[in-house]
Amino acid sequence: MDSDKMATTPFVTAEWLKARIAAPDIVVLDGSWYLPAQARDAAAEYRAGHIPGAVRFDIDAMSDGTSGLPHMLPRPEVFAARMGALGIGDGAQIVVYDGLGLFSAPRVRWMLQVFGARDAAILEGGFPAWVAAGGPVEDGEGRAREPRPFTARLDNGAVADAQDVARALESGSAQVVDARSGPRFRGEEAEPRPGVRPGHMPGARNVHYSALQAGGRLKEPDALRAVFAENGVDPGKPVITTCGSGVTAAIVSLALESLGRPARALYDGSWSEWGSDPERPVATGA
């Protein structure tokens, strides 16, 4: 981002974006994605209204369609081709938002950064904040952009697999922080995906993503530190984030980053992989 974006934050404000929306190097992505229980249609909402010029970034369409797991990262060359086809090229200043304020945009930004777009930012407060600030809105399918070359280089160190998580739990080399709700973490609720056992990884800690935000925005740093402390997480020590399918784990990663303590990695397979593997241990309870 240019020099008048604060380098210490992963966010830009609605006012910042309003002043630059017409700049040729700014690309806005609507990264809205919803859980089935939220009963919202991201594609329909995009057609009903989005930030002018925003490109719809469909997390499912941009993920690995050959995997039996949801939202897994695709191969770099596949991601590069899909980004290029959307008209997003190297050097673009990317701003991501979602329809809830802060839900799926962190996952989109994480994907972008993992593949090399390090300067991608999140619109603070998302689409609701844009509308509240009087930002213009357009409807329809959106304007097609000319294809551009996008170079994707995977940062393998930012992506954890099941073996990485197992080693961290066994050795204590990193804290594994699960963003799912308390009832799901404790195994009190059935998992929404067939064949996935309820419970959590033995030794994991639970920080529900909703505890880290208020009004569609991250809480203030002191409040974030308090939430982590209450749940036995030390931001000063290495963290691997996880959740149900790798989306809300990125909110925990974002909160740690905002405290100047970026997570070591995000477990891409998350509980969808671990909980469906009979060889992996599962714990229930607090």
**pLDDT one-digit tens code per residue, 144-173:** 899 999 999 999 999 999 999 999 999 999
| pLDDT (0 to 100) of residue 192 | 93
Confidence of residue 33 (pLDDT cuts 50, 70, 90): very high
Print the SS3 string covering 108-138.
HHHHHHHCCCCCCEEECCHHHHHHHCCCCCE
Residue (of 136, 130, 127) closest to 14 by Cα position: 130
Residue 168 forms part of a structural domain: yes
Residues 164 and 143 reside in one and the same domain: no
Is-contact 180 243, C-beta < 8 A? yes
Return the higher-pLDDT residue of 35 and 9. Answer: 35
Domain boundary among 120, 154, 188: 154
HSE-CB at 142 with a 13 A cutoff on CA atoms is: 23
Q: Mean pLDDT for the chain?
A: 96
Residue 5 has pLDDT above 60, yes or no: no
Return the higher-pLDDT residue of 143 and 62. Answer: 62
Residues 107 and 190 reside in one and the same domain: no
Rounded Cα distance, 175 and 178, in Å:
10
CB-count burial class (<10 Å; 0-12, 13-18, 19+) for 200: buried
Residues 76 and 204 reside in one and the same domain: no
Residue 129 forms part of a structural domain: yes
| pLDDT (0 to 100) of residue 1 | 43
Q: What is the pLDDT of residues 193-245, one digit of tens each?
A: 999 999 999 999 999 999 999 999 999 999 999 999 999 999 999 999 999 99
| pLDDT (0 to 100) of residue 8 | 55
Hey, which residues are catalytic here? Answer: 243
| pLDDT (0 to 100) of residue 177 | 99
pTM of the model: 0.96
Could you tell me the residue range of the domain that residue 80 belongs to? 11-154
Residues 145 and 164 reside in one and the same domain: no
Residues 146 and 161 reside in one and the same domain: no
Residues 24 and 132 reside in one and the same domain: yes
